[in-house]
Each structure stands twice: as C-alpha cells, then as structure tokens.
C-alpha cells in the first residue's frame, strides 16, 4: 500500500474498493488468508469497500467437488473452496454487508426477466461490504446530529458538510429511525 505508483494512482485519504474477486480460494487456511485480508483492510481508509467472491462446493455433490479440488491441487495450485459461513468469516468479519448480503454470484442484483444460471453451475459466493466510518467521520456525524434540534415526527436535514459528509436523519419522538450519510459532491 506504500508503493509510490499505487499512491500516485489512488488517493488513500478517500474511500476506495478492494476487489478480491476469485482470489481467496487460492489461499488455503495454512497460508493465513484471514490475516492477509485483515492487513489489507487495515490499510484502507474508513468507508472503503471490499468486493469479494469465493468458490464453494455447497451446491455440488461432495464427492465430485472433492475430486475437483484434488485435481487442482495435483496441478500444483493451492486451492480451498469454502462454505458461505467460512467465506463470510474470512472476508467480511467486522464489515457492514451491503444488500443483498452474501449470495451466489448469479443472485447478486439479478436483472428482472433475464435468465441466470443456477448456483450449481456458478459455484461462487459473492458479497460487498463497507468498512466502518473512522473517528473523523463519526465526529462529523455527531456534529451534524447536534447541529439542529429535531422535532418529533419531522424529518430534519443537517446541511452541515463536515469532512465532506452530508447527513440526513429521521426521528419519531425519542426514537431514531434511520440515518443516511452521503458524500458531498
């Protein structure tokens, strides 16, 4: 992450996306993939995204899936399919999953009325998650929330744009229903 060419290309003071698409299954557990993912995510700025996919045998005959894994490994390629739960723990622990969550890749925001392959033909899970806001962004949200008092049953819009964030919150009485955060243009 400190390589000069990368720093010239990416502004790591702003959120970025880390794409680990069809990568993590080439890192078996004995190679410490969770530590690798954690190190990469730690280097990213707050509000960055992780896009990841991973092969799985969840939808296939266990015997046929095991034969396929052995064939890849015999070719000298480290390979480990994972279940949805294993993949989720490996890649998305501590992150906020975006809709529709961790799903077979053919089910990721499918277009209506467009045929798509069943999970048994795809054999991959995919997901997108966001890294938590950093201290600066959380402080900005706190300032924006207290910027103007909220009336019960009213929408309040705090136009404060601290740290490039525009905050919109809705309250009903004492209960906060939702908080929307948008980057200022």
Structure token digits, residue 123 = 């054999």
Q: What is the pLDDT of residue 33?
A: 97
CATH of domain 4-130: 3.40.50.150
Q: Would you say residue 178 has pLDDT above 70?
A: no
Q: What angle do CA 92, 183, 171 make, to 5 degrees?
A: 85
The least confident of 24-28, 80-84, 117-121, 159-163 is: 159-163
Beta-sheet pairing, 17-20 with 49-55: parallel
Q: Indicate whether 163 pLDDT > 70.
A: no
167-175 average pLDDT score: 40
Burial classification of residue 107, based on how many CB atoms lie within 10 Å of its CB (0-12 exposed, 13-18 middle, 19 or more buried): middle
Is the pLDDT at 60 greater than 80, yes or no? yes
Confidence band (pLDDT; 50, 70, 90) for 99? very high
In the chain, DSSP finds a helix count (H) and a strand count (E) of: 6, 8
Mean pLDDT over the full length of the chain: 78
176 DSSP β-pair partners: 171
Sequence ranges of the domains in the chain: 4-130, 135-183
Model pLDDT, residue 134: 62
The whole-number pLDDT of residue 138 equals: 52
Residue 154 has pLDDT above 80, yes or no: no
**50 burial class (0-12, 13-18, 19+ CB within 10 angstroms)?**
buried
Instruction: Find the mean pLDDT for residues 131-136.
Output: 72
CA distance linking residue 16 with residue 50, whole number of Å:
9
Q: Give the per-residue pLDDT at 85.
A: 97
Instruction: Decide if pLDDT at 142 tops 50.
Output: no
pLDDT at 103: 96
This prediction's pTM: 0.70
């Amino acid at each position: 992450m400190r390589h000069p060419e990368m720093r010239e290309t990416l502004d790591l003071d702003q959120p970025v996306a880390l794409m680990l698409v069809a990568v993590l299954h080439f890192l078996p557990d004995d190679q410490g993939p969770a530590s690798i993912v954690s190190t990469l995510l730690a280097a990213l700025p707050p509000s960055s995204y992780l896009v990841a996919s991973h092969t799985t045998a969840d939808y296939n005959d266990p015997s046929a899936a095991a034969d396929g894994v052995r064939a890849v490994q015999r070719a000298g390629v480290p390979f480990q399919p994972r279940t949805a739960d294993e993949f989720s723990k490996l890649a998305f622990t501590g992150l906020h999953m975006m809709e529709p969550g961790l799903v077979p890749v053919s089910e990721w925001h499918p277009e209506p009325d467009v045929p798509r392959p069943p999970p048994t033909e795809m054999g991959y899970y995919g997901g997108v998650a966001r890294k938590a806001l950093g201290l600066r962004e959380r402080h900005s949200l706190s300032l924006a929330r207290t910027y103007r008092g909220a009336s019960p049953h009213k929408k309040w819009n705090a136009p404060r744009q601290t740290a490039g964030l525009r905050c919109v919150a809705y309250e009903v009485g004492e209960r906060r229903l939702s908080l929307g955060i948008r980057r200022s243009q």
